[in-house]
């Protein structure tokens, strides 16, 4: 089942981080996974070994994905087999995301983020300086 041709004149990506992919060309299987513990802290303190990820439910809880039970047969008729894009400007691609130019077969991405905010009590910010 021949896929179409993707033609992109120019791609402009500013930043890519945390297991993200810029794929130019065809691929068969793409598998991305990312676990993040985002801590916003009012005090400028960082120990480096903090954060025990399996403690948090969002990181460990399995995500239920609906199974595909229906058997689907599909046929494509490409009268003009070219996808033309003049320009693609992306500022950020992060957290196991993908910017894919071309055909693929199976793509499976998963990202898990636990967000914690630690604020100092009102009126005590000067103590941490």
Partner 1 sequence: MNFEVYNREICVGNIKITGVASSSMVMIGDTETIQLASAFDTPPESLIIGPFVPLAPDVTSGYVGETI
126 binds partner 1 (CB under 8 A): no
Question: Do 94 and 16 form a contact (C-beta atoms < 8 A)?
Answer: yes
115 binds partner 1 (CB under 8 A): yes
Question: Do 98 and 25 form a contact (C-beta atoms < 8 A)?
Answer: no
Query: Binding marks (x or -) toward partner 1, 43..82, rule CB under 8 A?
Result: x-x-x-xxxxxxxxxxxxxxx-x--x-xxxxxxxxxxxxx
Q: At closest approach, how far in Å is the CB of 126 from partner 1?
A: 14
Tokens coding 1: 């089942």
Q: What is the DSSP letter of 122?
A: T
Binding-residue total with partner 1 (CB under 8 A): 86
Question: How do strand 82-93 and strand 29-41 relate by DSSP bridges?
Answer: unpaired
Q: At closest approach, how far in Å is the CB of 98 from partner 1?
A: 5
Tokens coding 44: 């400028």
Q: What residues numbered 31-50 form the site for partner 1, per CB under 8 A?
A: 32, 34-35, 37, 39, 41-43, 45, 47, 49-50
Sole binder of partner 1 in the list 121, 123, 126, 129 (CB under 8 A):
121
Residue found under tokens 């903090």:
50
Question: Do 104 and 28 form a contact (C-beta atoms < 8 A)?
Answer: yes
87 binds partner 1 (CB under 8 A): yes
């Amino acid at each position: 089942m021949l896929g179409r041709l993707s033609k992109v004149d120019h791609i402009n990506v500013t930043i890519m981080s945390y297991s993200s992919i810029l794929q130019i060309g065809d691929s068969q299987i793409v598998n991305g996974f990312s676990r993040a513990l985002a801590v916003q802290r009012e005090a400028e303190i960082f120990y480096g070994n903090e954060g025990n990820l399996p403690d948090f439910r969002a990181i460990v809880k399995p995500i239920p994905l609906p199974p595909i039970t229906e058997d689907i047969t599909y046929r494509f008729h490409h009268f003009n087999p070219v996808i033309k894009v003049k320009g693609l400007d992306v500022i950020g691609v992060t957290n196991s995301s993908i910017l894919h130019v071309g055909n693929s077969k199976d793509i499976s991405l998963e990202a898990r983020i636990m967000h914690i905010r630690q604020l100092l009590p009102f009126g005590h910010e000067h103590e941490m300086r």
